[in-house]
Amino acid sequence: MEYLEWRHVFKLDPAKEISDEALTRVCESGTDAILVGGTDGITLELVMDLLMRVRQYSVTVALEISTIESVSPGFDYYFIPTVLNSTKTEWVKDLHIEAIKEFGDFVDWNELVPEGYCILNPDCKAAHITEAQTELKEVDVIAQARLAEKFFKLPIFYVEYSGIYGDPTMVRAAKSVLKSTRLFYGGGITSVQQAIEMSKIADTIVVGNHIYDNLEEAIETVKAVHEISL
Ligand code: 1GP
């Protein structure tokens, strides 16, 4: 699957405004994919509007599903998080079961990509909502990564620090035990140097907020990451 080759991803939040000019820069940056996703205020209208705009470009585009009501057809992939360090079964598998009950007979399973999330920033919205147990040591992250790969056979393990730059030690711990499952890192990448540091550890890095804060710097991370081979 193509997503197994991604090194750099831009995450666009449908609830945040982005000008046509900025969107062109993002879509033509050479990034491997656009992941559409966010936590708050995501509606079907906003998702469809952003998809239509991104579809003017040839870049691969995936939807990271946050609510079942905002799922629109037309994406290349549908990424479905299961939050492995959530303390609520809702975020691990209950919402998934509800969706499968409703749509299980007619979904194209080949388009669905499950992601095992490990949320490590205690202050991010996703951590609050999912009541994630974020006080994890390396040994815990290693166990989470193994749970993802060996137990649930997930194609992606996502170390999520959304909003802050993470601890490379934790990312390295996850990487040290993963063989077939791909390691995604996301959170607080605001410079080329940080993008390079995390790209040397993780298979794929995700740049989100910085697109909205400093587009030029965010764009620079694409080339920097593509120059590094793992
Ligand atoms: C968020 O991992 C992504 O889900 C990216 O994080 O927005 O902090 O770059 P940032």
pLDDT tens over the chain, length 230 residues: 699 999 999 999 999 999 999 999 999 999 999 999 998 899 999 999 999 999 999 999 999 998 889 999 999 999 999 999 999 999 999 999 999 998 899 889 999 999 999 999 999 999 999 999 999 999 999 999 999 999 999 999 999 999 999 999 999 999 999 999 999 999 999 999 999 999 999 999 999 999 999 999 999 999 999 999 77
pLDDT score recorded for residue 1: 67
Ligand 1 centroid to Cα of residue 187, in Å, is 4
| pLDDT of the residue at 96 | 95
Nearest in space to 29 (alpha carbons), one of 10, 16, 1, 49 = 10
Q: Which atom of ligand 1 is nearest to the CA of 164?
A: 8
Closest atom of ligand 1 to CA, residue 189: 9
Q: Whose CA is nearest to atom 1 of ligand 1?
A: 162
Q: Beta-strand (E) ranges in 69-160?
A: 77-83, 112-119, 156-160
C-alpha 85 – ligand 1 centre gap (Å): 17
* Cα separation, 219 vs 230, whole angstroms: 21
CB atoms within 10 A of CB 40: 11
Give 199's contacts (C-beta < 8 A, 6+ positions apart): 7, 8, 205, 224, 225, 228, 230
**CA neighbours closer than 13 Å in the CB half-sphere of residue 22:** 16
Question: Residue 158 corresponds to which tokens in the numbers above?
Answer: 């996502």
163 alpha carbon to ligand 1 midpoint, in Å? 6
Task: Quote the ligand 1 centre to 99 CA distance (angstroms).
Answer: 25
In this structure, the residue with its CA closest to atom 6 of ligand 1 is 187
Joined together, the tokens standing for residue 128 give: 């609050």
Reported residue count of the chain is 230
| Domains defined along the chain, listed by start | 2-115+185-229 (3.20.20.390)
Residues 6+ apart with CB under 8 A from 134: 85, 119, 120, 121, 122, 127
Residue at token pair 């009541």: 131
With a 6 Å cutoff on the Cβ, whether 160 touches ligand 1 is yes
What does 63-91 look like in DSSP terms, one character per residue? EE-S-GGG--S--SEEEEEEETTBSSHII
Kindly provide the residue ranges of all beta strands, DSSP E only, lying in the chain, ordered along the sequence.
8-12, 33-36, 61-64, 77-83, 112-119, 156-160, 182-186, 204-207
What's the pTM value of the predicted model, to 2 decimals?
0.97
Phi, psi of 153 (to 5 degrees): 55, 45
Instruction: Give residue for tokens 């090194």.
Output: 7
> 110, exposed or middle or buried, with CB in 10 Å at 0-12, 13-18, 19+?
exposed
Place of tokens 């990487």: 175
Q: Please tell me the distance from the alpha carbon of residue 156 to that of residue 145, in angstroms, as a whole number.
A: 9
**How crowded is residue 169: how many other Cβ atoms within 10 Å of its Cβ?**
11
